[in-house]
Amino acid sequence: MQRRILRNKNKIALMSGILIVLAFVSKLALNNLVVFEAALIIASIIGAAPIAIQAYQALRVKVVSIDLLVTIAVTGAFIIRNFEESAIVTFLFLFGAYLEQRTLNKTRSAIKELTEMAPESALKQMESGDFAEVGVDEVDVGDILLVKTGAKVPVDGRVVLGEGSVNEASITGESIPVGKEPGSQVYAGTILDNGTIQIIAERVGEDTTFGKIIELVEEAQDSKSEAERFIDRFAKYYTPAVLVIGFLVWLFSKDVELAITILVLGCPGALVIGVPVSNVAGIGNGARHGVLLKGSEVISDFSKLDTIIFDKTGTLTVGNPSVADVEYYGEDISEALGYLASVERESDHPLAKAVLAEIGEATYSPVENTEVVKGEGIIATVNGQRVAVGNVALMNREQVTLSEQALADIERFEQGGNSLVLTAVNGELKVLMGVRDQIRHGIKEELQRLRKLGVKNLIMLSGDNQGTVDVVSRELGLTEAHGNMLPEDKAAYVKQLIEAGQIVAFVGDGVNDSPSLALAHIGIAMGTGTDVAIETSDVVLMNSDFSKLPHALGLTKATARNMKQNIAIAVGVVLFLLASVLFSEWMNMSIGMLVHEGSILAVILNGMRLLRYGLRK
């Protein structure tokens, strides 16, 4: 019976509202006081039923809830035959709960949309070679899947055949389609805008990036911040306190109606709901924009941030070295480039890949008598010529003469933060290349946005040499930059800043960043980084989009402000109502409940503003 009543709470509210309208029509239009009183009595009884059940269920777990305050107040009003007050109060309370739930559902729309976007089926290659539709739960790692135009990618995987463009908005928050070809990564929940591709499944079910996003957002929305925990404790003691105040007012004034009115007006509904709705809306906004905030506690710390520490490679820089500067010396340069390409083609060193990408198409020659000189480079015979490819130390070993111009170029390249690749043919310098990891596009502007949002210190820690680190730091205008740092050095530096009283965030993407990510107040992982980095972080920037970092910081600051606004609204309304009932004659139970429910709606609507938050560039 109790379950049935609670399930039909909204219908009961509607019936109660209709009876109240009928009562006042009977009195004002027909002057029928019997129908007036009967309708109000029925409305009071059916309206109080779900409220009383909720109060009883709360008492069974030793919680004195708001429902108990309203139940006692309505019962008292009923006993003193104030049927208008009892009927109107129960209706407003039920109608307010309906509006509250409906509005809260909107703030949770982000997770609902994510869940609805989760793929349910896949076209799987069977043993016969044909593709058949199966449930996404039947897909295993290593299966070959077919994705057609307009279809959702069912799992995380890699393209093995075909080309197309994929809308990755569900993962990154960006709606611009991303081109895919054999070897490209694709993610579950994204949509193939055009083309047809075959993929090999690499992560399935809850292990997919999309599955982890849903799991993280659900956990975040269910978590409670320090402010929420305080309000829970406050409400636990506040509600009994209101009961005691109401009893004392009746004891000294003998005014039952005044005591009952105080019980109704003292309900802390807006206070209890105000902070959670802000947190849920803030986390939902982040999820829509490719920012995963792992819980309400993160929002509180993030909003107070004053120091951000960055790893260099893969965070401030692209993480993929390329040739930035080139100088040629003497004649037969194309031939020398062919020799260089022939030597580098046999190496898997990152610098070799960068050199080959710079040379492009070349005429390759047989490479013989290869000798690797540790820490210096490679010496080999190519097409009968002695070719040395490496750093300045290797050139000195080979007794290659470096002209004044070459020495000046070498110094300039080094000052620019380049790693040097010199090529000599038969003891004569031919090619000088400077290879460096390129700074991410637009990152300087994003760092300025962080400063405008109140971040005082922008610090870079890197395992790279101090010269390269200084070049990046000067170009980006960082506060500090430290090179030659091992993972334990980075963690020790983070700990040092925390002990100095700074609120520290660490941004990184590698396994070596995990200790610092875990130690900092806020660990921020780039979404394409390692699983360990993502798991130990508090915030994840999907698709490693650095521009999401200022959005995340601005969003958490807006959410923290929103929480404070909601607390101020809730406390202000309760104080106003209690003052009005004690020091004025116009305030009564019905008006008070109307204002009370209005305050609940006000804090919910204020919290919902965060769903539309977007930091202006």
Question: Domains, the chain, ranges and CATH?
Answer: 2-108+220-277+560-612 (no CATH), 120-154+156-203 (2.70.150.10), 291-319+440-544 (3.40.50.1000), 322-436 (3.40.1110.10)
What is d(CA 254, CA 247) in angstroms, rounded to the nearest whole number? 10
What is d(CA 386, CA 426) in angstroms, rounded to the nearest whole number? 5
- In tens, the pLDDT along 85-110 reads 788 878 877 876 776 666 555 545 54
List Cβ neighbours of 104 (8 Å cut-off, separation of 6 or more).
Answer: 273, 277, 280, 604
**pLDDT value at position 274?**
76
**pLDDT value at position 405?**
94
Q: Hunting for tokens 């692209």 — which residue is that?
A: 318
Q: Is residue 601 helix, strand or coil?
A: helix
pLDDT, mean of residues 315-336: 86
**pLDDT value at position 173?**
44
Q: Hunting for tokens 């993610």 — which residue is that?
A: 187
Of 24-28, 346-350, 406-410, 565-569, the range with the lowest mean pLDDT is 346-350
The gap from C-alpha 10 to its chain's centroid, in whole angstroms, comes to 34
For 217, 285, 609, the CA distances from 113, given in Å and listed in that order, are 12, 12, 18
Of 381-395, 483-497, 528-542, the range with the lowest mean pLDDT is 528-542
**pLDDT value at position 478?**
94
What is d(CA 416, CA 436) in angstroms, rounded to the nearest whole number? 9
**pLDDT value at position 232?**
62
**pLDDT value at position 220?**
45
Q: Is 179 left (phi over 0), alpha (psi -120 to 50) or beta?
A: beta
Of 106-115, 384-393, 396-405, 435-444, the range with the lowest mean pLDDT is 106-115
212 compared with 499, residue with greater pLDDT: 499
561 compared with 415, residue with greater pLDDT: 561
**pLDDT value at position 206?**
75
Kindly report whether the global pTM for this prediction surpasses the value 0.85.
Answer: no
Query: With contact defined as beta carbons under 8 Å apart, do 181 and 163 qualify?
Result: yes
- What are φ and ψ of residue 372, in 5° steps? -95, 120
pLDDT, mean of residues 596-607: 82
Task: Give me the active site residues, please.
Answer: 311
Cα torsion 291, 296, 298, 302: sign = positive
Residue 377 exposure: Cα atoms within 13 Å on the Cβ side: 25
Side chain identity at residue 363, one-letter code: T
The pLDDT-based confidence of 457 (bands split at 50, 70, 90) is very high
Query: With contact defined as beta carbons under 8 Å apart, do 327 and 420 qualify?
Result: no
The pLDDT-based confidence of 481 (bands split at 50, 70, 90) is very high
**pLDDT value at position 134?**
92
pLDDT mean across residues, the chain:
82
- What are φ and ψ of residue 130, in 5° steps? -80, 160
- Asked if pLDDT for residue 616 goes beyond 90, the answer is no
| Strands of 246-374, DSSP E | 291-293, 307-311, 322-328, 367-373
What is d(CA 160, CA 265) in angstroms, rounded to the nearest whole number? 66
**pLDDT value at position 24?**
87
What is d(CA 544, CA 173) in angstroms, rounded to the nearest whole number? 11
Helix (H) or strand (E) holding 612: none
- Asked if pLDDT for residue 38 goes beyond 50, the answer is yes
pLDDT, mean of residues 518-535: 69
**pLDDT value at position 99?**
65
- In tens, the pLDDT along 257-283 reads 788 778 777 766 677 677 777 887 888
The pLDDT-based confidence of 505 (bands split at 50, 70, 90) is very high
| Strands of 245-306, DSSP E | 291-293
The gap from C-alpha 596 to its chain's centroid, in whole angstroms, comes to 33
Side chain identity at residue 225, one-letter code: S
**pLDDT value at position 279?**
80
Residue 339 exposure: Cα atoms within 13 Å on the Cβ side: 27
**pLDDT value at position 558?**
93
pLDDT, mean of residues 487-508: 89
**pLDDT value at position 277?**
78
- What are φ and ψ of residue 321, in 5° steps? -60, 145
Beta partners for residue 134, in sequence order: 122
Beta partners for residue 199, in sequence order: 145, 159
- What are φ and ψ of residue 528, in 5° steps? -95, 10
- In tens, the pLDDT along 153-203 reads 999 899 999 988 888 766 654 445 778 889 988 888 888 988 899 999 998
- Asked if pLDDT for residue 70 goes beyond 80, the answer is no
pLDDT, mean of residues 575-588: 82
**pLDDT value at position 270?**
72
pLDDT, mean of residues 388-399: 91
What is d(CA 94, CA 43) in angstroms, rounded to the nearest whole number? 12
Q: Is residue 346 helix, strand or coil?
A: coil
| Six-digit token string for 372 | 């690797």
In percent, how much of the chain has pLDDT > 90? 28
- Asked if pLDDT for residue 530 goes beyond 50, the answer is no
**pLDDT value at position 201?**
93
**pLDDT value at position 229?**
63
**pLDDT value at position 214?**
62
35 compared with 592, residue with greater pLDDT: 35
Cα torsion 375, 376, 378, 379: sign = negative
In percent, how much of the chain has pLDDT > 70? 85
Number of Cβ within a 10 Å radius of residue 388: 24
The pLDDT-based confidence of 550 (bands split at 50, 70, 90) is very high
List Cβ neighbours of 227 (8 Å cut-off, separation of 6 or more).
Answer: 275, 296, 300, 563, 567
